[in-house]
């Protein structure tokens, strides 16, 4: 496993995501993945499982200081006072006095971006947050966030998989020194059985999921999240650092991108995508 360096943050290249994961599964899976070697755990206020994530980390054998923990502020808590309160609530649920990374979950809001970025900086200055970032931002909003922030923005967490070309967002991130954190890497399961991915997987003696995760982390400045409620699959997903894709294989995977490749785009939350 390696870290992605982004504006002063060292982010473990593969993280374990807990989106739509019930508390009981979180309590089972988080200690299991930490035992496997994962050191990056991703949650959010809206997931409703911060308390279980906190309990699972606290009960694991891995010291809190060795874990990169991310959570996200939901859109209904963007007003300054609500924002600060929500972060304190998240820390209490997570049983920690800081998170390694705090993100704005979606960009659409009546609250000015300057107010939201200001609140991010405030909780960072208070030591409640080590690093700050954004999620689901387009390139124009990325540039605005960077311009408004005193502290460096370290990541933009976005949907990214072989069927979605994120070149403009990747270019913008690299230009400002931030990383991209990929979610929905498996494209809701569509990568499994894809003939191109299957052929590359066979050539390496790996699974389609392993190939896609490797494709992501092999790109400059890209972190990926993997999510599963299977301990066996979590183990497999972590075994992506013992092989490398050729430049031709990387290109073949990029070539799978298509105009209708985006899966996640809630109308009341999403920006105008690049």
Q: How many other C-beta atoms lie within 10 A of the C-beta of residue 107?
A: 22
Of 226, 224, 243, 244, nearest to 235 by C-alpha is 226
Q: Of residues 38, 47, 78, 184, which has the active-site annotation?
A: 47
Residues in the chain: 274
d(CA 18, CA 27): 11
Beta bridge partners of 223: 181
Residue 47 known to be catalytic: yes
The tokens of 68 are what?
């990169």
Using alpha carbons, list the distances in angstroms from residue 45 to 25, 53, 69. Answer: 17, 11, 13
* Closest C-alpha among 188, 191, 227 to residue 208: 191
Closest of 1, 86, 3, 4 to residue 45, by C-alpha: 86
80 marked as binding residue? no
Contacts of 274 by beta carbon, 8 Å cutoff, 6+ apart: 138, 139, 168, 169
Do the beta carbons of residue 144 and residue 153 sit within 8 Å? no
Say how many C-beta atoms besides its own lie within 10 A of residue 266's C-beta: 9
Cβ(245)–Cβ(219) below 8 Å: no
Phi, psi for 179 (deg, rounded to 5) = -100, 170
Are 114 and 148 contacting, i.e. CB atoms less than 8 angstroms apart? yes
Residues at the binding site for substrate are 105
Residues at the binding site are 105
Report, as residue numbers or ranges, the catalytic residues.
47
């Amino acid at each position: 496993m390696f870290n992605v360096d982004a504006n002063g943050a060292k982010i473990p290249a593969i993280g374990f995501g807990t989106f739509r994961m019930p508390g009981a599964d979180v309590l089972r899976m988080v200690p299991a993945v930490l035992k496997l070697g994962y050191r990056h755990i991703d949650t959010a206020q809206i997931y409703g499982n911060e308390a279980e994530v906190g309990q699972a980390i606290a009960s694991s054998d891995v010291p809190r200081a060795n874990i990169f923990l991310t959570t996200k502020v939901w859109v209904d808590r963007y007003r300054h006072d609500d924002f600060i309160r929500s972060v304190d609530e998240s820390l209490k649920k997570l049983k920690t006095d800081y998170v390694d990374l705090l993100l704005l979950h979606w960009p659409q809001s009546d609250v000015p971006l300057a107010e939201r970025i200001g609140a991010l900086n405030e909780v960072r200055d208070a030591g409640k947050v080590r690093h700050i970032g954004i999620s689901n931002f387009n390139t124009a909003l990325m540039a605005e966030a960077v311009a408004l922030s005193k502290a460096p923005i370290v990541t933009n967490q976005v949907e990214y998989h072989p069927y979605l070309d994120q070149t403009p967002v990747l270019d913008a991130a690299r230009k400002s020194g931030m990383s991209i954190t990929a979610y929905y890497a498996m494209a809701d399961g569509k990568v499994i059985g894809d003939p191109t991915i299957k052929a590359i997987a066979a050539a390496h003696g790996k699974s389609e999921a392993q190939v896609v995760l490797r494709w992501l982390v092999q790109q400059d400045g890209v972190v990926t999240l993997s999510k599963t409620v299977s301990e066996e699959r979590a183990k497999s997903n972590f075994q992506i650092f013992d092989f490398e894709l050729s430049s031709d294989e990387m290109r073949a995977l990029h070539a799978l991108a298509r105009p209708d490749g985006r899966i996640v785009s809630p109308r009341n939350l999403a920006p105008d995508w690049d």
